[in-house]
Structure 1
Amino acid sequence: MNYRRLGRSGLKVSELSFGSWVTYANQMDTGAALDCMAAAWDAGVNFFDNAEVYANGKSETIMGEALKKLAWPRVKYVVSTKFFWGIVEGPNTKNTLNRKYLMDAIDGSLARLQLDFVDLVYCHRPDPNTPMEEVVWAMHDMIERGKALYWGTSEWSASEIMAAHNVAEKHHLRRPVVEQPEYNLFHRKRVEVEYQHLYKDVGMGLTTWSPLASGLLTGKYKAGVPEGSRGAMPRMAFLLEKLTDKARNAAVMQLEGVAKDLGCSMAQLAIAWCLKNPHVSTVITGASRVSQVQENMKAADVVAKLDEAAMKRIEAIAGGLAE
């Protein structure tokens, strides 16, 4: 496993990491989560991603219980969480980044995770109704109070990220060091175009999610929606249109030929393609079984096989379908 710096910060994260979205509490109990985290750890993973809203807080609880049982040295692993949507009903607790919510949310997450601090905390979405100065000050104070070490954003626009940096520079506050965007072969323009100047201007790192496009890039949706898949979950129905898109599934079938020639699976090819981008600090992977974790981790070995010819071949197949 290789380790990359989180943007210009001094923190190093494993180039492949393990996240809990969708799986924890929905497909996995504490035992299964522990087994998968242990498998990821054995492969060299040191970064574990979570969020307050995942399974309405239960995901954090499961990860906290697993971490306690695994008893790894705290200095050796990195844990993140995210705030915006909230899990408590009320006018100041939903879809907001106001100071009151953020200060309460971090305490709730720490209790569920059974940790004294999280290494990384994200503003899970931008909040147009809260002044940027209030958001940046709250994140700064969260770090100053020792409840988090670094902060970042998730699915913010380039202009919103720059606004946060400008506030931080003006008041000499802690700056966001990372953005967590969706990034895969079919979803890439924000990372490759919109954010381009941020890598140089502010040294922004990326912890990217959905490298498999919710499973589309594994090839499992070529013949419809398999029973038990993410696309078959009622609450994930919003993904169905893209998962069953004929043009993209046809592209996946062509990409399978590339994967075969490289001696890897489609999942490994898709993850390795994301890792090929030097601005990506880590690719967040997900799994509900140890075997999936082990397969995903082998993607790190595929990156070296993605030479110029292979990348051009992939681009010719998928480039025109990217958004």
Structure 2
Amino acid sequence: MAAFNLTPSNTSPFILMGIPGLEAAHIWISIPFSMFYIISLFANFMLLFVVGKEQTLHKPKYLLLCMLALTDIGMSTSVIPKALYLFWFNLKGITVGGCLTQMFFVHMVTVMQSAILVIMAFDRYVAICNPLRYSTILTNARIAKLGLVGLIRAVLFILPLPLLLSRQPFCANHIIPHTYCEHMAVTKMLHGNFTVNRTYGLVIAFVVIWLDLMLIVLSYGLIIRAFLRISSKKAHQKALSTCTAHICVMLMSYMTCLLSYLTQRFGQGLASNVHVTFANFYLLFPPILNPIVYGIKTKELRDKVGKYICRSLLPGATDFKAV
């Protein structure tokens, strides 16, 4: 990604301003940023470690959780370290190539995460509607292939964004009123007509967000139909428990993403610091909440995590059963 073809007029660095209007409070704002980042890294790496170590967790459901954890790590790491440098040391400069690379990874990981949520919805559909065929329909190898397809889709959809920007001249003012290089914030600095860039961004948002949401809604529509046909109260509770964690993670991811997108596109009357704050919600909250939600709602995973925590705190302990 470092090989973006930049014209000579685009070689001067961009300036990230952080959160406009709150520059004096940047050092205080860095405290929740750094705390959330450290906790999200710990939680997601713990999930990856436990699933990797425990053979009993080598199942499609937990492979999808590992994919989600990797996207959470990638999303926060692509933005928060640079934002902390800005908050702590007032290091605002970023090269054009670095800016476009950051923009690519942020949006690529967003599209990849959306694909994983769709695969998770399909996983829940098969688990509830075709439980006897679950192990034959969804194998680890098939989940890995679906994840690879989601990654290829994300790269192919997002790669044109920085490529289109790198071939156009920017205005002399290279100030970005943001904590990171978001597509619309960078597009506004183009000198001349940026209709193609704006239109392509809208198409990607529609194809990815709305198409993926429709697929998830379809999966849950079929799940609800199967749910209504179940007469056993115990089976009702089991089916509901199976979907709760995914529904919570899906709502957190899509709601924060849509909120950020809508404020960027249609919130012209809002102050810049409101735009930037909403954009950062998507980078701060889902990566820390996703592993916690699944850790709480998934008993098998909760037991294994508890066992490793117990071993680290009490070296003589041999096992632990979460209550």
The TM tier, using the shorter chain, reads under 0.3
Which structure is richer in relative contact order (CA contacts within 8 A, separation 6 or more)? 2
Greater strand fraction, Structure 1 or Structure 2: 1
Q: Rg larger in 1 or in 2?
A: 2
Greater helix fraction, Structure 1 or Structure 2: 2
Q: TM-score, length-normalised on structure 2?
A: 0.26
Q: TM-score, length-normalised on structure 1?
A: 0.26
